[in-house]
Amino acid sequence: MATSIPRAAAPSLIEQRSIDYIPEEERHGSLISQFTLWFGANLQVTAVVTGALAVVLGGDVFWSLIGLLAGQIIGGAVMALHGAQGPQLGLPQMISSRVQFGVYGAIIPLALVCVMYVGFSAGGTVLAGQAIGQLLHVDNTTAIVIFALLIVVLTALGYRTIHAMGRMSTIVGVLAFLYLFASLLHGHDIGVLLSNRHFTPGTFLLAVSLSASWQIAYGPYVADYSRYLPSSTSALKTFWAVGLGSVLGAQVSMVFGVFAAALAGNRFAGHEVSFIVGLGASGMLAAVLYFTIALGKLTITTLNAYGSVMSVATIMTGFGGQRSISNRTRLFFIFLMVGASTALALAGHHAFLKEFSAFLLFLLAFFTPWSAINLVDYYFVTKERYDVPALFDPDGRYGRWNMTGIAVYVFGVVVQMPFIATGFYTGAWVDALGGVDISWIVGLIAPALLYYIVARIRGSDVPDRMILPAEQGAVNQAGR
């Protein structure tokens, strides 16, 4: 069936679409590109630091590795279920929230998504600036500006370029991590490290939470990067391609972080970039490792920037009922979001960025209930039967505000508060749980069950099949 559909003969290097539906004749790509994008995006220094925390905060090597893998699988499954929506809907991830929250109501999680990803981009920009500064022998401010300009260009080029970045990051990252593992473990007996086992529920659950939260944080934009796949692409195969790429890439990075923290101790914690580059001694190898760190952050920060632009566009078009934005408006949003993250990076790399990062971790509590509601609605309530044109119409099937979805979402956020443990906020029941943050577990299960029960009781206005814009002659092409 899919082979009879015409394909664009000469696709533009610069992406022409934004939040609008991707018609079948413009669909392209393969599942392997989904794997390489997420594998390469996770081979990066922030994932290394996250894995190291499992040991720095008291865990042993063996149970930290097991806990991190368990969390990757749980969180990766949630993340990949969102990614599997892309080929079926042909839309960015967050616009589907209008089904559960209403066209205006979806702005609530969207605004928080924008804040979180701008913040994550700022943190990544600081780390990348350090690597670029050393690589090019320039000061950090200049390096941050150079990095920001690269992000603007790559985000403007869009979908195809981002996937090409994923392939490059995979190749470079695999080679770099092979070298890093060999250098780090040379002269050390891995068996001795793994034989030191002191299982405690608290530290094990901490490791699970670290990696699960890492994966769940991708949920608000993962379908942005699968929406161009042909609609005939198997949802199950998309799930595995996205999930395996993200889980394996993050686990490789975090395993390195665990071993680095266990073997290097204070030489690693707080000096991650210099320690990693130090494994390359000096000269060309050190330059290659600086390049690898910068490339890894370039890939993931471009994902953050692109996703945040999609979210801002979704917010702005919700009020006017537009189905697309022009290329000029898209470019404006790119400068706006990259400019915001760059300003944070420049202002905070000497001061408040650490505290702001704690606030961003707190914000994760606002995305687990969104994820639970979105997945339950898509897979168990509407069962993939969306009215796509109605997503752009405040007076349509989904309305302006869906108070049921919003109420369940608020419940999902509030019910997590006693279980949150961050530098920004710590819940009342955290001490009783040994200081471990289990809010993500509560935030997934409680709103998922409540939303499903309420949806079954109240019923939903669900079409008998998926309604596409082409059926109503409503395909809108941005900038054409």
DSSP H helices, 137-158, are 140-157
Q: In this model, does residue 258 exceed pLDDT 80?
A: yes
Using alpha carbons only, give the angle 102, 479, 390 rounded to the nearest 5 degrees.
20
Q: In this model, does residue 353 exceed pLDDT 80?
A: no
Any residues with CB less than 8 A from the CB of 480 and at least 6 apart, and which? 16
The letter for the amino acid at 55 is: V
- Tell me the pTM: 0.90
pLDDT of residue 431: 85
Q: Is 421 helix (H, G, I), strand (E, B) or coil?
A: strand
- Among the listed residues 473, 11, 21, 474, the one whose alpha carbon sits nearest the alpha carbon of residue 227: 21
Q: Is 399 left (phi over 0), alpha (psi -120 to 50) or beta?
A: left
Domains in the chain: ranges and CATH: 29-465 (1.10.4160.10)
Question: What is the pLDDT averaged over residues 76-85?
Answer: 96
The residue ranges of DSSP E strands in 304-434, in sequence order, are none
Q: In this model, does residue 247 exceed pLDDT 80?
A: yes
When mean pLDDT is compared across 13-22, 24-33, 34-43, 177-186, the lowest value belongs to: 13-22
Question: What is the pLDDT averaged over residues 209-226?
Answer: 93
Compute the mean pLDDT over every residue in the chain, rounded to the nearest whole number: 87
pLDDT confidence bin for 364, thresholds 50/70/90: confident
pLDDT of residue 479: 38
Q: In this model, does residue 477 exceed pLDDT 50?
A: no
pLDDT of residue 356: 55
Residue 390, token pair as written in the block: 């109605």
